[in-house]
Amino acid sequence: MLVLRLLNVVAPAYFLCISLVTFVLQIFVFIPSMFRDPSTTPLFPPALLHGALFLFLSANALGNYVLVIKNSPEDLGKDLNLDKGAEVADWLDGSRSPGSALPGTHFCRLCARVTQRHDHHCFFTGNCIGSRNMRNFIMFCLYTSLACLHSLVAGMAYISATLSMSFADPLAFLTLLPHSISQFFSGALLSSEMFVILMLYLWLGIGLACAGFCCHQMLLILRGQTRYQVRKGMVVRARPWRENLQEVFGKKWLLGLLIPVLNVESNYRRQKEK
């Protein structure tokens, strides 16, 4: 438990550091290197287009990241009277759930709250993912993967121009790291260039991981399931996939694709108001 709590603090700091390094490299290294002779520059230079695209992706990734943290799942334990030690212990070991609880509720040890439609605990946000912030979490994963892959392409273009390398060969990227390490220790490669090459592989790993996680999460949403329900083997009521999507993304799903917006209210809160 101590290791998990430590990871819950270190992981968000790690993500923010990677975001800051990526922003600095893009704005002050990659994009300025795209500027050419002003006399031959077209109306919309590639540097401005790449800069606008990167800022759009970064704003959506960081905006949804903040909304995931801000729009925390509602603590249902206050309404389910889980203040007794025996009842909390039952939630901890998963032996039973109160009769008034909705399906898919779960007590998170790290957050110390009972969340509706609990999916998982995200260490990079330090928060549980549930019905209230699922859409923002999906958008965060999507735009993070796009921002990383965009940084990967811009970084490869920068390395190609700086080191006069060609990535036409598909194996060139695979052999770039071992070849760069040997050049770095022989003194033929600068530390700044080696740092950019290491960041290329980091962006590739984060981008592919976020894209794969986003696709897996979308598949679960289409089936009307959460990761917690799949892990526990819970049976869910079959519904049309359109209803499952609307429950997570709401009616303003197109607006959520373009700008970070808050998720729709949870079904539990609407049921209480009725």
pLDDT digits (tens, 9 = 90+) for 11-42: 999 999 999 999 999 999 998 887 665 555 55
Token duo for residue 107: 């007590």
Segments in the chain below pLDDT 70: 35-44, 75-104, 263-274
pLDDT digits (tens, 9 = 90+) for 146-191: 999 999 999 999 999 888 888 888 788 989 999 999 999 998 889 9
What local confidence, expressed as pLDDT, does residue 99 receive? 41
Among candidate residues 122, 141, 148, 210, the one labeled active-site is 122
What local confidence, expressed as pLDDT, does residue 79 receive? 56
- Catalytic residue at 122? yes
> What's the pTM value of the predicted model, to 2 decimals?
0.85
